[in-house]
Amino acid sequence: MAGRLDGKVALITGAGGGQGRAAAVMFAKEGARVVVTDVNAEGGAETVQMVQAAGGQAVFQTTDVSQAAQVEAAVGVAVATYGALHIMYNNAAVLHRKDATVTNLDEDIWNLVIDVNLKGVYLGCKYAVPEIIKAGGGSVINVSSLAGLVGIGNVHAYTAAKGGVISLTRAVAMGYAAQQVRCNVICPGGVDTPMMAHVFHNPNPRFREMSAKGHPIGRLGTPEDIASMALYLASDESSWVTGSVFTIDGGYAAR
Ligand SMILES: NC(=O)c1ccc[n+]([C@@H]2O[C@H](COP(=O)([O-])OP(=O)(O)OC[C@H]3O[C@@H](n4cnc5c(N)ncnc54)[C@H](O)[C@@H]3O)[C@@H](O)[C@H]2O)c1
């Protein structure tokens, strides 16, 4: 049976766990060859094993998205290993425990969060877009958050970075549409991944209950809920979609 990503090569950042891992497995099941990247080499190797167990192809490259040379090298691995790059999924981010409201936020933490969550997306675009153009076009998928759309909580560096990702997505979409490079952004609601374990798997179950209830559908998201959207954006089914913001949040932002 034909896969929705047959013949495509995808690079996914932060694919050593959570949503990036779910996307790696889902993309590979649909025929993509996947470059799994993460700072967490152990998690990345596990993801590659999961892809292979599902009958897919993947390689791992240790990559810190805030480091230009490492992002450039990861894109190079995609081209050297699989011959091209069609899909860049800028998924990696951190939710830093010391992120805070602006008056309580250390400059070092601000810099770190902006470096990973916003500069990391810029670097992903910078090195992937020329290769996607060479491949005849393709898809850049960025990850923002509900926090990029509405004022949430007290993580002001995270929120600022995620807002920037939305603006950067629209700019990249306009900049490269004529060369058939599409660029879209996903804004997830609360997704049950390691990033949110301190809330969703808190010893006090009320944290999880309250979080789930905040989403009108009545549950938290799964990594697969988000990967399904990314799969659509990665595939040619979305060939007329660019510069768009996709809120995947169980109805949270619609209230
Ligand atoms: N989980 C949620 O509720 C939620 C909600 C909205 C948006 N998001 C966004 O979804 C995306 C995926 O997050 P997740 O929920 O899967 O979290 P996660 O923490 O499970 O996964 C993030 C991955 O990124 C990796 N990473 C961290 N810093 C990195 C760096 N500098 N370079 C490369 N990799 C790095 C981590 O090792 C991890 O494997 C992120 O952009 C996050 O901000 C998550």
Q: What is the pLDDT of residues 53-95, one digit of tens each?
A: 999 999 999 999 999 999 999 999 999 999 999 999 999 999 9
Relative to the CA of 190, which ligand 1 atom is closest? 3
Q: pLDDT confidence of 255, banded at 50, 70, 90?
A: confident
What amino acid positions are annotated as catalytic residues?
A: 158
Which of helix, strand or coil describes residue 91?
Answer: coil
- Is 4 among the domain residues? no
| pTM metric for this prediction | 0.98
Q: What is the pLDDT of residues 90-132, one digit of tens each?
A: 999 999 999 999 999 999 999 999 999 999 999 999 999 999 9
- Is 207 among the domain residues? no
Q: pLDDT confidence of 152, banded at 50, 70, 90?
A: confident
Host domain of residue 145? 9-190+222-247
**Torsion angle of alpha carbons 52, 53, 54, 58, nearest 10°?**
-10
Rounded Cα distance, 223 and 92, in Å: 13
- Is 212 among the domain residues? no
- Is 206 among the domain residues? no
Locus of tokens 């007329």: 240
Choose among 9, 14, 6, 76: nearest CA to 47. 14
The residue to mutate among 149, 158, 191, having the most atoms of ligand 1 within 8 angstroms of its beta carbon, is 191
- Is 71 among the domain residues? yes
Cβ burial, residue 62 (10 Å; 0-12/13-18/19+): middle
**Torsion angle of alpha carbons 78, 117, 149, 169, nearest 10°?**
-40
CA of 94 to the centre of ligand 1 (A): 6
Q: What phi-psi label fits residue 35: left (phi over 0), alpha (psi between -120 and 50 degrees) or beta?
A: beta
- Residue 88 sits in a domain whose CATH number is 3.40.50.720
**What total of structural domains would you count in the chain?**
1
